Chains A and B, each alone.
Chain A
């Protein structure tokens, strides 16, 4: 999106229309920065520089402060996220049962490291401390699906379902 609000196909669009709606909803709420950012991230997938700048301007909050908030909470993302979010559990039980090898297998398969997104924006790979399914260790989640009792060999098949 460029400054004239034209997308790559050349059509005039208002990229911030959704943002305006969100901001209007919270216009009267004091201390609404975090809910606004959450809603913005839900709408746009991640918090781009443009969105943060726009929010700063409209809410009259210094952009540096918003950047501070966004980087403090791990729920906020400054870069585009994949269509599918993989969360590989690294908790104690999973660790004991080979979580490292599972993570390695995914990294090898997708050719990205933990915390990164594939170039085709299909997968984002994250690690989590525990997802509370120790009985299924080693375990991972893709979006809202849980996959347990994993082996490195099972990984390609699971990922293929989301490709």
Chain B
């Protein structure tokens, strides 16, 4: 790589020729503040908070888009620079609602942090305020345009990462807004509710719909039996919402905290992840042996299901009919568990803790009532659980670890890796390979499907057959896969798709992080959980075995068909 030498604040540094001034500065520990910049998105240079002095330049330059060149002299901390940054933020605050104390992003807002870091003690400009209505017409996300600072990160996340293009800047000047086409609500356009926009929003302009009030109410109702399930990816991210480092594994603490909050039973979505493997794995074998539609594609990620229903309805027969683990769990809690525990299903409130905003929309789908009730009553994101734990005053750092309740809290390592991209595929392979051959696998780690590469491919021998698999994460990569299928170029047998970058660990409901490498740290933690598990193959799960022996009878059986499988339908939103 060609290097250049530049001087940053008197310090000589060698950096790649293709760097921006911002990248060069950060590489040597000089922190330039940013707002519209996001490390995972194309830089835009819109907000001008990152301005620096470059010797010989006509004016201050935006370091996030300014390329380095040989011999350049940069000063990041001069009176002019500090003054300019301060003015930029003061102007942003001039029409920003002064509602920090009651904002969902209070203490976790980049604009607030910026104002604090720059020592802004008064807002000298009193500008006109915006008065846009709230967009709260969908179950997943709430948009408040009045809090928007027009950084455009949501536009870039939706178009660059997801390829969905819901948002655009509209109008001009003071009237500029970030809106879906025709200024419609998210429920009226082709939004998948993946929530990646809420993960990159620096302020409270796009947040998850907060359902904590309803859950608090259920918890304090003595006539209700409130059960909770926790998704695989929540245990490696919740810690971040409570001040811990990315990649902290907090499974036991989370279970204990949920009991403290008053949940009557704390169960694990990993249990139904194992169950998903048995249903979906058998569905795959069935398709393989009886000429069904291939490649079969996983259906656990509701953002992804929305995407294919919206954009590629003609390919819906490729989707596995298996419900997502959340919905399998919901269906079982109000049937199998209710029977076993002798509790009337009408008195059960079923809550799930998910890394995902699209899960909120999945839970209220018309089809998801196979128990005779809404199978999952409330879905909370990891962020919302973090807030409830803080509200209850639980000392998360000091709390003693506890174990999940039986039987729906018993799970294997195959269930937990659902949280990382490639995990569902790996879990399925661990089971399918052994079911087909009847022999124990010498190694159960399929590392070729792991990692953050956008599309991964592998050929796995299963008995006499070479099974060709692919794994895609982000909807932009999913689209590439679907186009391949449409063009008849996809000779895969089985494809895993997750809507969010990195899989569920990078879900739109996870704690917001701009920390370098946070996805990989969460992924590493997921595989650590797997390695630490006594059982690592879904078909070894004793609670799942018991469920089949005593109740479901067999995978793809009549009860499974009714409770654990679903159907899809095209969605007509532009």
Contact = CB atoms under 8 A, between A and B. Distances in A.
Interface of A: 49, 52-53, 62-68, 71-72, 78
Given A64-B189, A67-B183, 8 more contacts: A62-B159, A64-B165, A64-B180, A67-B170, A67-B179, A72-B171, A72-B172, A78-B182
Interface string B135-178: 00000000000000000000000010000011111111000000
Contacts of A72: 169-172
A65 B574 contact: no
Contacts of B167: 64
Given A53-B574, A62-B159, A63-B574, A68 B182 contact: no
11 contacts: A49-B182, A62-B159, A63-B165, A63-B181, A64-B167, A64-B181, A67-B168, A67-B179, A68-B168, A68-B170, A71-B171
A68 to B, nearest CB: 4
Interface residues of B, number: 16
Contacts of A67: 168, 170, 179, 181-183
Contacts of B189: 64
Contacts of A71: 170-172
Nearest to A49: B182
Contacts of B170: 67-68, 71-72
Contacts of B180: 64
B172 A64 contact: no
A63 B184 CA distance: 12
A43 B442 CA distance: 70
A44 to B, nearest CB: 17
Main secondary structure on B side of the interface with A: mixed
Contacts of B165: 62-65
A14 to B, nearest CB: 21
A52 B184 CA distance: 14
A80 B522 CA distance: 53
Contacts of A66: 181
A78 B166 CA distance: 19
Nearest to A74: B172
Contacts of A64: 165-168, 179-181, 189
Which residue, of B171, B181, B183, B574, has the highest number of chain A Cβ atoms within 10 A? B181
A45 B170 CA distance: 21
Nearest to A63: B181
A68 B180 CA distance: 9
Nearest to A73: B172
Nearest to A65: B168
A72 B168 CA distance: 11
B367 to A, nearest CB: 26
Contacts of A68: 168-170
A78 B181 CA distance: 12
A52 B182 CA distance: 10
A68 B574 CA distance: 15
A64 B180 CA distance: 6
A154 B81 CA distance: 57
Nearest to A69: B168
A108 B483 CA distance: 57
A53 B168 CA distance: 15
Contacts of A78: 182
Contacts of B183: 67
A123 to B, nearest CB: 24
A68 B172 CA distance: 9
Contacts of B169: 68, 72
Contacts of A63: 165, 181, 574
A49 B189 CA distance: 13
Nearest to B164: A62
A62 B189 CA distance: 12
Which 8 pairs, one residue from A and one from B, show the smallest C-beta to C-beta distance? A62-B165, A68-B168, A64-B168, A67-B181, A71-B170, A63-B181, A64-B181, A71-B171
Nearest to B173: A72
Contacts of B574: 53, 63
